[in-house]
Structure 1
Amino acid sequence: MTTTPGSTPPSASAGAGGRGPATPNAWAVGGATFAGVLMAVNGVFSVFEGIAALAKDDVYLPVGDYTFKFNLTSWGWIHLVLGVIVFVVGVGILKGAQWGRIAGVVLAAVTVLIHFLWLPYQPLWALISIAIGVFVIWALCTDRPAARI
C-alpha cells in the first residue's frame, strides 16, 4: 500500500474499526477523575444526611402515605453506611484502582435508586444526587484507562 507524501497511513489515523482517533475522549478522562471527587464528596454529604436523620430533632418531617416509607432511623442508617462506602470507593477511583471503577458504577446506580426513594424527604437534594449518580456512571463507563498508557 502506498501513501502520498504528507499523509498518514489509514491504520495510524483511525482507531479500532476505523471509527476515529485512538485517543481517549478528553471529557471521559477528566470526567472519571471528577467522578471520583463527586463520589467522595457525595459520600460525605450522605453521611451528614444519615446523621441528620438519626438525630432526634425535626430536621426531616414525617411523610404521609408514601409507598416506600421507612422510618427515619432506617433511612439514617442507610445513608450513613452507604455514605461511608461511597466515600471509600470515590477515593479508590481517584487512586486509579480498577475495583474502584467497577464498584463506583454499581454504587452510583444504588445511590440513584436510594435517592429516588428519598425524594419526599429532600426533593431538591435527591434530584441533584440522582444527576450526580448518572454523570458518575457515564464517566466511569466511557473512560478507558488502558488507552491512556
Structure 2
Amino acid sequence: MASSATGAGPTVRGPQRYPHASGWTIFAGVMLISAGMMAVFQGAAAVRKDGLLIVTRSYVYSMNTEGWGWIHLILGIVVVVAGVAVFSGAFWARAVGVGVAVLGMLANFLWLPYYPLWAIVLIAIDALVIWALCVGKVVREA
C-alpha cells in the first residue's frame, strides 16, 4: 500500500476484490460440470434400458437400473448446476459443491455393482473436486 498524494490515507493498488473463482476453484467447477454430465449420460442410459448396463449378480443393496438411472439423472443435473455456481467464487457455492460431490460419491459407490469402472472414475473425480474446493484459497477484502 502507498500513501495518497493528498495525505488523506492509504490507497490500494490492484484489485481489492476477486469476485470470480480462480485456481483450484475453477478446476473444481470444470470437474463438477464434467462429472455431472457423465452422471446425466449414465442415468439416461439406465433409464432407456439399453444394453450398456449388464447386471450379473444380486447384491445386498439392489435396485432396478431404471430407478438408479433416475437418481443419477437428477443428481447429475444438480451437480452441473453446482459446478456452474462454483465459478462465482462464493463460499456458499463451494460448500454446495462439496455437498453434491459427497452425494455423487455415495451414489457411485452404490452404483459399483452395475458399472464398476465408470463408478470408480466418477468417485475419483468427486474426491478431486472435494479436495480442490477445500484447499482452494478464498480471497477476502482486508
TM-score range, shorter chain: 0.7 to 0.9
1:1-149 residue pairs with structure 2 within 5 A?
30-146=23-139
CA distance in 1, matches of 2:141, 2:58: 51
RMSD, matched Cα: 1.7
With over 3 angstroms needed to count, the CA separation of the structure-2 counterparts of 1:148 and 1:64, relative to structure 1, is farther
CA distance in 1, matches of 2:141, 2:39: 32
CA distance in 1, matches of 2:115, 2:95: 28
CA distance in 1, matches of 2:139, 2:106: 30
Amino-acid identity (%): 45
TM-score (norm. length: structure 2): 0.78
CA distance in 1, matches of 2:139, 2:40: 33
User: Is the CA contact 1:38–1:132 (under 8 Å) kept in the aligned structure 2?
Assistant: yes
User: Is the CA contact 1:63–1:69 (under 8 Å) kept in the aligned structure 2?
Assistant: no
Q: Which amino acid aligns with 1:47?
A: V
Aligned length: 121
Q: Which amino acid aligns with 2:133?
A: L
TM-score (norm. length: structure 1): 0.75
User: 1:148 offset after TM fit, Å?
Assistant: 8.2
Q: Which runs of 4+ in 1 moved over 3 A?
A: none
Aligned with 1:125: secondary structure? helix
